[in-house]
Structures are given as C-alpha cells and as structure tokens.
Chains A and B, each alone.
Chain A
Amino acid sequence: MATIQEKGYGHWDGRLIERRLPWWPITRTAIRMAFRTRHFKFFFSGAFIPAIVYLVGIYVSERLDDFRFMIKGSEKFLVINPGYFKSYLTGDFLIFMMVLLMVFSGAGLIADDLKFNALQLYFARPLKKKDYLLGKAAVVGFFVLLLTLIPAVLFIIFKLIFSGNFEFLTSYPWLPASIAGYSLLITAFFACYTLLLSALSKNRRYVAIMIFAVYFFSDIIFGIFNGIFNNPYFSLLSLKANIQQIGAVFFGQKPPFDVPWPLSLAVLVAVCVLAGVALNKRIRGVEVIR
C-alpha cells in the first residue's frame, strides 16, 4: 500500500451542479454493474430470443408465399394484429426471462446497500429518498422496457417497413398507446416487486431466491387450487396470471381467465402499495431503533 500523502491534496476548482435527474448516476452505475455479474450477459442475450422469433414472424407474415414450404398450415399464428403483440408481451418465456433478469440485476439493488451500510453514504449526499428509489427502480425499468416497449415498437416499425404501407397503423391506431401503457404498467410492477423483495433482506442470495420463488410458487399454488376447485378466481394468486390478464385487456383480447380484470389489476397495485410502505420504512439514512 502506498504511504499517505504520496501526492498532495489539491482543492477542486469546479462547481457542483444540480442534476435534472439526480438519480441517473445510480441507474447508470447499477446497469454497468449488472453486466459485470457472472452469467448475466448470457441470460440477457437469451431474453431477446422471443423478440427475434416474433420479428422473424413479422417478416415471414409479409412473405407468406415465399415461406409456405416452411409454415405448412401455421399461417394463423402469423396474423399480425394486437393479439400477436399480446402474445409476445405476455408470453410465459418472456415473463420468465424478465424474472430471471430481475434476479441478476435487481436482487442486490437495495439488499447490498443494507448489508454494506451504503445507505448513509447515499444520504450524506444531496440526494432525497425518492431520488435513491427512482435510481434503483430505473435499473429494473431499463431491463423491462428493453424487453417490452423497445421490441414492440420495433415490431410496428418493421411491420410498416416490410408491408411498405401504413395500413397496419391505420387499422390499429391505438396499438402504440397500448404497448406504452402495458410496458409502463409492467415496468412499475416489476420495479416495485423487485425493490420490495430486495429491501426485505440484507442477503442478495435470499432476495434472488425470493424473486424467483414468489413468482413461481404463486403460479404453482394457483395451478394446485385451480386443479382441485376448478375456480378461475384462484388465478388472482398467480403473478403471471394477473400480468397476462391485464396484458389481454390492454390489447383488446379476451382475458385468459374468467375473472374481472380490475381484480387482477388490484393485485398488482397491492404489490406496489406494499412495496411503497416497506421501502419507506426500510430506506433511511441511519437505522433508528426506537
């Protein structure tokens, strides 16, 4: 180790700035850190497989005659309409990959700060609690939007390019708003879900297990109860089922379960409210034991 004062201390002659987005350094740094996590790049790349498949589907749908030998009666899956977008955005594999990315990029967002006492360093800066939380939530938002909003917008653009006209957009003028609305809702939900669980433990491994387990067990419990009682209302227990219900509503499709969609929305909102309460309690500059 070098001896201290090997180089002298000089005063900094710059000026501290007021950032319009004070949380942005938190987000940027956390995203960079996520890519340094082992195996993350592999799973991150894998998460784009559905997007690539659906993009190829859009291309093929415009060249059905050229690819007829490959499709062999699967044309019904290649009808590009809001249902196609709903099928992509609420697909089991995509949601699974989003959960997986949350495990890698989101588990330690708050848990590590709690474990290594970093919160006091954040709040010793001119940073408000909402800036801190926004910075952390934006990390989740970045990955979720990268898998929902961006591919869906690209689908529309490529559909227009491949078809060479604007007929698709004129047929479904509300589709971009649906994509944006659903993507933002799902982003808000995953941000709250991940941060809630990340704030509940100081151990990122436990958090990672919880992110995975809560998602899967909620679906398994739904499957078990639905199998026994044959009651669709048990779908409210499943996070995935609720997401798919809401997704169907956003894209004007029939919800997969015979349950009023506001109830599914209420479940997702309840998770967000719970997250708000827990985060407000857990995130403090200093731990005050009264």
Chain B
Amino acid sequence: MSIETRDIHFSYGKIRALSGVSLDLGEGAVGLLGPNGAGKSTLLRILLGFLSPERGEGKVLGHDIRRDKASIRKLVGYMPEDDCLVPGMDAVTFTSYFGELSGMPRQEAMKRAHEVLFYAGLGESRYRLLETYSAGMKQRLKLAQALVHDPQLVFLDEPTSNLDPRGRQEILDLIKDIATSKGIQVLISSHILADIESICSYVVILNKGELAAQGRLEDLREVKFSLYEVKIKGDGAPFGKRLESLGCRLEETEDKILKIYMPQGVDRMEIFRAAVACGIQVRQFIKSRTSLEDLFARAVGVD
C-alpha cells in the first residue's frame, strides 16, 4: 500500500476537519473527491507532515506520518493548489533549486530541471522570469518542481484549477501519462469530477471530514440500481409518486429530463406501466451509465 491511514482526526479549533478517516490506497492514480470543506487539502497536508493529526496514525510509502516526515518528503512530490513561485527566478533556477532542496546534487538538479521542464511543456520558456508566466504555465511549473526529484508518489492539489479547457486537457494528459506509463503513483485532490473520472481508477470521497466512499471506480459504479433518463409529456407528479412507491429515486434536470434511479429487482417496464396508469406520454427513454457525478452525489448525500 502506498498510503494507509487509520482513524485520522484533525480540527481547526472548534471546526472538525477530519473525523476518523481510514484509507488503504494502492498504486496508480487515486482521486480524492469532496465538496469544499470536505477535508481533502487537510488530508494531503497531514500526509505530508504539515499538520499533525490529533488522533490516528498513518503511513506513506511505509513511512510513519508523525515520525518520518523527512523520509516521506524525499519520496513524495507535492503540487500545491495556490500559485507558488520565487520572484526573480527563471523556471530552470526555480526547478533545480527545489531539486537541490530535495537532496539532489547541484549539477544533477540542474540537468534534471531542464528535463522535467521540457516534459511539462515549458522547454522554450524555461529562462523566462516566473512573474511573467500565465496561469497555465504556473500550473506546469508546479508540476515540474513536484517531479524534479523523481518521486515515487505525487500529491496534486486541484491541478487543473484556473486553466482554460485546452490547458486543462494538457495537464490531465500529462498526469495520466505520469500515472499510467511512468510508474509514479498519483493522488489527485479535486472537486472537478470529470478530471478525476478521466484519470483515476480509484476514488476516495470525503464529506464533512468523514470518509463517504472509497474503492475502485468500476466497483463503485456497480451500484444496486439502474439509471434511466426519461422525457415525458403530461403531469409528472402522480407518475413520480407511483415510481417512488416502487423504491425509485427521481431527479429532474434543468432541461426537464427525469433521471430515474431504479432499484435492482424492479422491472424497467414499471416505468411504462406507471406512464400508462397516469396517462402521460414517454417521449424519450435512455438507459444511462451512472457517472462519477451520480456516485459523488449519492456519497455526499446531495441531489
């Protein structure tokens, strides 16, 4: 296991940020999901040793999060959420500087800085002052400094925030490449579900500081209901009530599509029987795949 935590508790004063979080995370890309204030960044900071948990224990790559902070930080790369830079530096100096601080010999750090900057797509602008970088370039730079010492595990905190769609896709491609072909384990904290869905095979969902769900995405998708998207004409209220009496959960989207979560064992023909009974027309009927969004909504208890 790359990350193991047992019963982690942490509070900011009276505000409880994490409550009894236990995780067993393996290799590959892991998504850390949750609404704002769920405790994602706090968990990352605890794993890096920035914060000490009030209770509980944990290991990152076999090193204790309380005692072996230095060992963990040697093996882990961290890409923070905020823009981080050292003014007056160019990207090569910046990246090699943090490589050196990680314990790389000076010459090696410089050589490696060039390599990772090319890899991150900053090869041509590596001698530009960091203050002149765009938001996308700063994101790439943060990724480059996280990779410079060739970590075994990278923590990425909201890696696609402040990016335009193209920049976002490029960063996602890069992260996917790191996670799938470079043998580096990746823990991505994000509230953008699509990002996590496109990269991660394993997700951890936090809600209000508690673990709401964790597991392989495929397993979590294997839910005990089927999802149908239906468009109807007529009064939907009695139709909905009838389906709810069968144990279904209904959601209406902005474009008036009814999402029907039907429990296992209930025949989908019941939808049509209910429509006939209520005198409404079914204009559209699609069996839908449960998205991470559905899973997320279910886990955190929001419709």
Contacts and interface: CB of A to CB of B under 8 A. Distances in A.
B118 A17 contact: no
A118 B105 contact: no
Contacts of B174: 4-5
Contact of A124 (B48, B88, B100, B125): B48
B103 A19 contact: yes
B177 A5 contact: yes
A27 to B, nearest CB: 12
A6 B118 CA distance: 7
Interface string B124-146: 11000000000011001000010
A62 interface: no
Given A14-B104, A118-B84, A9 B116 contact: yes
Interface stretch (A72-80, A109-117, A183-191, A250-258): A109-117
B103 A11 contact: no
B174 to A, nearest CB: 5
Task: Report which residue of A9, A127, A289 has the largest number of chain B beta carbons within 10 angstroms of its beta carbon.
Answer: A9
Contacts of A288: 12, 51
Given A9-B182, A124-B78, A4 B120 contact: yes
B50 interface: yes
A249 to B, nearest CB: 40
Nearest to A127: B101
A9 B170 contact: no
B41 to A, nearest CB: 8
Contacts of A12: 104, 108, 112, 149-150
B159 interface: no
A127 B101 CA distance: 7
B45 interface: yes
B272 interface: no
Interface in A108-167: 108, 112-113, 115-118, 120-128
A116 B94 CA distance: 13
B118 A2 contact: yes
A115 B82 CA distance: 11
The dominant DSSP class at the A interface is loop
A85 to B, nearest CB: 36
A18 interface: yes
A230 interface: no
A7 interface: yes
B101 A286 contact: no
B142 to A, nearest CB: 8
Interface in B76-101: 76-78, 80, 82-89, 93, 97-98, 100-101
Contacts of B118: 2, 6-7
B231 interface: no
Q: Quick one: which of A1, A108, A128 has the most chain B CB within 10 A?
A: A1
A125 B73 contact: yes
B249 interface: no
Q: Say which size band chain A's interface belongs to.
A: 35 or more
A117 B173 contact: no
A10 B178 CA distance: 10
A7 B51 contact: no
A138 to B, nearest CB: 14
A25 B105 CA distance: 10
A185 B177 CA distance: 54
A4 B121 contact: yes
Nearest to A10: B115
B60 interface: no
A277 interface: no
B13 interface: yes
Given A1-B125, A5-B177, A288-B51, A11 B182 contact: yes
26 contacts: A1-B124, A2-B121, A2-B122, A4-B170, A6-B118, A6-B119, A9-B119, A11-B150, A14-B104, A14-B105, A16-B149, A17-B103, A18-B103, A25-B97, A25-B106, A29-B97, A37-B88, A117-B80, A117-B82, A124-B73, A124-B77, A126-B69, A126-B102, A285-B45, A285-B49, A290-B13
Given A22-B101, A126-B103, A284-B50, 10 more contacts: A2-B121, A2-B122, A4-B171, A9-B182, A11-B150, A14-B108, A29-B97, A124-B77, A125-B101, A289-B12
